[in-house]
Copies of this chain bind each other. A is one copy, B any other.
Amino acid sequence: MTSSDISKLAPPSFADIQAAAKRIAGAAVRTPLLESQFLNERVGGRVLVKAECLQRTGSFKFRGAYNRISMIPEAERANGVVAYSSGNHAQGVAAAAQALGIPTTMLMPADAPAIKMANTRAYGAEVVTFDRFTDNREEMGEALAREKGATIVRPYDDPGIMAGQGTIGIELAEQAREKGAEVDAVLVCCGGGGLVSGTATALASTMPGVPVHSVEPEGFDDTARSLIAGHRVENDPAARSICDALLAPTPGELTFKVNSQLLASGFAVSDDETRRAMAAAFEYLKIVLEPGGAVSLAAVLSGRIDAKGKTIVVVSSGGNCDPAIFAEALETR
């Protein structure tokens, strides 16, 4: 699918997200909205944490993958799905396809961490490796999909994926209401923008008027800068961050179409602020956040958004963290 094909796609509506919520019910976890008295006291407000680290496969990616794969017509299912990812999307797609009885081929860079390949295979996927310097993974994916008649499952620029991630916006609104919380803002971790675009679409119906912000690592704040520029800009290829889940070079085409209309603004946080947020999640909430899953909490703790007297919901997107990186974060308290 080329860029001009993607530009013809319609973003998901709220009804699409409601349909996704029905599809994933029972398969995905309705993750809790966590709260800590000490965390609230630290920021002088109320922080509600949507803990997607407790989602199946350890990240929100399962939601979109399961919804998208469920939408494949019956006659095409046996041909399987193809995806390319070395991270949370790979596990989300492989686990969702396995749960639906559909074969998966996952394109992964030959130098991807052994544990990520092993996990993807453990969810029943066939892993095909490529050379990240000489091969074009999109072309390889298209060729593989054509050959098998398989469906490509993109990480974010896909209405079915975005609708699946958007189910978080339905759940968190219900859960905030159960807690009697009047929410002042929602902060969402952002890589390609699938999670925040779907969530913002749902929130426009479930919490109309509440500002939604993307949060990215410094150096990868392409969405924040694109929102200001009014068009998609790219990150400096020399940028580096510990947030391996959020290193998209530029906003997705379809996701940015949504985000440019629905987001209030974007924040960026440093790796040290992210590590401190991981340590805070350990101390106050007793959950494991990976770096990319902690940036939204980091934006609150670092004061990017003033939480004093406010109620802020942060979507914490995942917890698939290397033990050494986690231990290092605990030392930065």
Contact = CB atoms under 8 A, between A and B. Distances in A.
A34 B320 CA distance: 16
A286 B54 contact: yes
Nearest to A56: B37
A122 interface: yes
A59 B15 CA distance: 40
26 contacts: A32-B32, A32-B54, A37-B56, A37-B95, A37-B123, A38-B119, A41-B122, A53-B286, A54-B286, A58-B286, A279-B323, A282-B288, A282-B323, A282-B326, A286-B287, A286-B289, A286-B319, A286-B320, A287-B287, A287-B288, A323-B333, A324-B330, A326-B327, A327-B327, A327-B330, A327-B331
Given A38-B122, A54-B287, 15 more contacts: A37-B123, A53-B286, A54-B286, A282-B323, A282-B326, A283-B323, A286-B287, A286-B288, A286-B289, A286-B319, A323-B331, A323-B333, A326-B327, A327-B327, A327-B331
Count of chain copies: 2
Interface residues of A, number: 31
What 7 pairs between A and B have smallest CB-CB spacing? A286-B319, A327-B327, A323-B330, A53-B286, A286-B288, A282-B288, A327-B330
Interface string A175-209: 00000000000000000000000000000000000
A327 B322 CA distance: 12
A38 B57 CA distance: 9
Contacts of A54: 32, 34, 285-287
